[in-house]
Amino acid sequence: MSSPLPARPPTPPVSRRSLLRGAAAAGAAGLLTSCASRADAAFDAGAAPWRRYAGTTLNFISENTAPTAAIAANLKPFTELTGIRVNIVTLELSALAQKVALDFASGNGAYDVVYADPYQVLAPYAPAFVDLREFEDDPALPQLPGGFDDFIPTHLDAAGRFQDAEKVLALPYDCPTMVWQYRADLFARHRERMADDLGFDPTPSEDSTWEQYAAIARWFNDKTDEVRYGTGHQAKQHDSLMCDFSNLLWSYGGDYFDNGKQVGRLGTGDPGKCLLRSDEAIAGAEFYQRLLATADPGSRTWDWDGVGAAFRAGRIAMCPNWHEYAASNEAAMPGKVGYARLPKGPARSAGMYGGTGIAISNVVPPRRRKAAWLFLNWATAPKTQLANLASTVGGGTPTRTSVYAMPRVTAAEHRPSKMPNMLSARAVRRTWESADIGLRPKIPMWAECDTTIYTQVSGMLAGDTSPAAAMHAAADRIDRITTRRRVK
């Protein structure tokens, strides 16, 4: 299975100011449609709606994710349906963000369909994407099966919108989410002994707390040689560290900005003052430091792939990680892994959402946009999401409510499963509820803020600074970033 989130230290994208400066030079008020250099799509007005753009070739730029791997391996059904061919370019996210930004600024329109990461692509360059309601409301075009309402609501907002609650700029395409992954065989084998020693039932549940998680980790460290350490984390100085730390920050009642759920769900160009100086944020950082002090020391060298590999190798008993590692877990340790919502802290449980949507560039000519709509429609359709879920080269998880109601899919939540990512479905659906979903700030300047956070937290874990000092330093730097790059 392809990694759901390849290693990707975030690179600050080409600035929105540069993008809009190029747009102004073209006289396009921020949207470069007037200077698009590619030929428009083929068009046959007399053909059926799915066939009107036959003969066109679309370019789709994507991060190298599980759903894109599955779609790339099976594009024949789309081409047979539409007569449209699709070239797929896959890159790591930082490289993708730079190529997309340069394409917008130049007006070349090289990419018709864009994997629009909410933080590095959608928020910085929202004006350069088409409002997809234009196509859904066009009677000459095929409509989405189930409409926009079939997408999981938190996904549609977090991956598909920016600031405006009505506009839809992207369709939810993937949805990696962090959950508690644990050696269910070891928990079952030692349950009674652990309960006697710890004074509580160690089985992961809705009532499990982070303090209990830490106690379970120490128990495995001290009481058994079946694994080397109780827990491992993606604590490399990298985007993965921000993700891992954020789960604790939110669970302790901390956040990055005021009205954090709204800023994460719809986004803003002006998030205000950073909240990392708060008592709650510092308490979350203090606990995270304590937790990592007893974790596998390799944690500080691991991103999500590293901790996933350590877990599959039997080195650690549990870890927080993206739910789409279920497929590779099952391949390595069939029947031995369990999944649960992450533990709760004093405020709540929170699991980081890492989903992204696919969008249509406003730089390309009008008929190309309509041809691209056919691809978005097909690529996110229930039938295609079901095929991706069962793909041997993909394994992406559906973003549509209707797919989870299909009998084949509900049956796959139990072993033996031909769709192993569905083994984590109960935990992840619980995490997607609005009270538990962890949404990083959807702001145009997030890439710089992200770097600040994982740099300061990494220094804290190395013992170079205290949790309070790390949080204050991060907040000071983030305030400078958001003030300098504020977007109205």
Domains assigned to the chain: 16-176+354-405 (3.40.190.10), 178-352+441-484 (3.40.190.10)
- Flag whether pLDDT at 9 surpasses 50: no
* pLDDT (tens digit per residue) in 33-45: 344 468 999 999 9
Any idea which residue has 């109601």 for tokens? 405
CA distance 380 to 399: 8
Per-residue pLDDT tens over the stretch 64-102? 998 999 999 999 999 999 999 999 999 999 999 999 999
Query: Would strands 229-231 and 171-174 be described as parallel, antiparallel, or unpaired?
Result: unpaired
Q: Exposed, middle or buried by CB within 10 Å (0-12, 13-18, 19+), for 179?
A: buried
**What is the spatial distance between Cα 415 and Cα 417, in angstroms, rounded to a whole number?**
5
Pairwise CA distance, residues 294 & 316, whole Å: 12
Residue-wise pLDDT tens digits, 275-331: 999 999 999 999 999 999 999 999 999 999 999 999 999 999 999 999 999 999 999
Give the model's confidence band at 393: pLDDT under 50 very low, under 70 low, under 90 confident, else very high.
Answer: confident
Query: Taking Cα atoms as reference points, which of 453, 452, 460, 454 lies closest to residue 289?
Result: 460
pLDDT band at 440 (very low <50, low <70, confident <90, very high): very high
pTM across the whole model: 0.90
Query: Is the pLDDT at 14 greater than 80, yes or no?
Result: no
Three-state SS sequence of the chain: CCCCCCCCCCCCCCCHHHHHHHHHHCCCCCCCHHHCCCCCCCCCCCCCHHHCCCCCEEEEEEECCHHHHHHHCCCHHHHHHHCCEEEEEEECHHHHHHHHHHHHHHCCCCCCEEEECHHHHHHHHHHHECCCHHHHCCCCCCCCCCCHHHECHHHHHHHHCCCCCCCCCCEEEECCEEEEEEEHHHHHHCHHHHHHHHCCCCCCCCCCEHHHHHHHHHHHHHHCCCCCEEECCCCCCCHHHHHHHHHHHHHCCCCCECCHHHHHHCCCCCCCCECCCCHHHHHHHHHHHHHHHCCCHHHHHCCHHHHHHHHHCCCEEEEEEEHHHHHHHHHHCCCCEEEECCCECCCCECEEECCEEEEEECCCCHHHHHHHHHHHHHHCCHHHHHHHHHCCCCCCCCCEHHHHCCHHHHHCCCCCCCCHHHHHHHHHHHHCCCCCEECCCCCCCHHHHHHHHHHHHHHHHCCCCCHHHHHHHHHHHHHHHHHHCCCC
Confidence of residue 270 (pLDDT cuts 50, 70, 90): very high
Read off the tokens for 357. Answer: 């949507």
For the chain, how long is the longest CA-to-CA vector? 75
Residue 196, classified by CB atoms within 10 Å of its CB into exposed (0-12), middle (13-18) or buried (19+), is exposed
Distances (CA, A) of 446 to 79, 251, 264, 483: 37, 21, 11, 12
Which of 3-17, 48-62, 141-155, 158-172 is the least confident region? 3-17
User: Which amino acid is present at 172?
Assistant: P
pLDDT at 19 over 70: no
The span from the CA of 343 to the CA of 248, in Å, is 9
Contacts of 38 (CB under 8 A, 6+ apart): 108, 109, 110, 364, 365, 368
The per-residue pLDDT for 392 is: 83
pLDDT over threshold 50, residue 146: yes
Looking up tokens 């980790």, which residue turns up? 217
pLDDT (0 to 100) of residue 432: 95
